[in-house]
Structure 1
Amino acid sequence: TALIIIIAAVWFVVQSISATKLPNKFLPLVSIVVGIVISFAYAYLSSKNIQLEQDLFFGLFAGFSASGLDDTLTKSVSGLINNFVGALVSKANDGSDATSSTNSSTTNTTSVK
């Protein structure tokens, strides 16, 4: 549970930092640094015992996880929305094409008679 708390905290902090003018290419690095800092702070505040290797690993893992989580969520959600909207637009265009071809064939038949 500690790792989940750290990942969530890192994600929230990085999201707030991403609202600034910092270029997006630096956000993964910021995520890792924030993960390490939050991991050490969590270890110190929860048990007053910092285990350097473990907390460093947790911080790195949390930073990478938060960065990957953000990329996955934004790309997956936007991809789903784009596919859904694209399907709706495609159906709407197919319906209007069928209506216009029906109208044109009716018009052509009437003019031939």
Structure 2
Amino acid sequence: ALIIIITAVWFVVQSVSATKMPNKFLPLVSIVVGIVISVAYAYLSSKNIQLEQDLFFGLFAGFSASGLDDTLTKSVSGLINSFVGVLISKANDISDTTSSEDSSSTDTTSVK
């Protein structure tokens, strides 16, 4: 159940992040949405709300969804950017080598 709640919180926060709300408020939104979804899930699934437990699960889900978003956006994009940077530098090295070979082979002027 907690995985479902974390996923739902993440999707809701992603929807909210598409608005013009400043990113500094997204962790707080994530916690509040986590608590609301956790209590709603407990009520809808069993009609038995244990407020302390549901608040804790909601808080945990909010923090988890916020951490998941940070991990995906920063770590994965960092890996992609570094990989692309390596590819670009290798492409530049290859083009520099090719251009220096072309200039040395075309420099065949004869002196009389």
Percent of aligned positions that are identical: 86
Determine whether 1:45 maps to 2:44: yes
Partners in 1 of 2:110 and 2:100 — Cα distance?
16
User: How many residues get paired?
Assistant: 111
Distance in 1 of aligned mates of 2:57 and 2:35: 7
Counterpart CA distance in 2 for 1:83 and 1:23 is: 27
1:111 Cα offset (Å) = 4.7
Q: What is the TM-score with the length of structure 1 in the denominator?
A: 0.89
CA distance in 1, matches of 2:26, 2:76: 20
Q: How does 1:7-18 map to 2 (within 5 A)?
A: 7-18=6-17
Structure 1 spans left out of the alignment, 5+ residues: none
Match in the other structure for 1:104:
103
Look up the match of 1:93: 92
- Aligned-CA RMSD value: 1.6
Structure 2 residue runs without a partner (length 5+): none
Displacement after TM superposition at 1:35 (Å): 0.3
1:2-43 deviation line (CA, Å, top 9, x unaligned): 100000010011111111111110000000000000000001
TM-score (normalised: structure 2) = 0.90
1:112 Cα offset (Å): 8.2
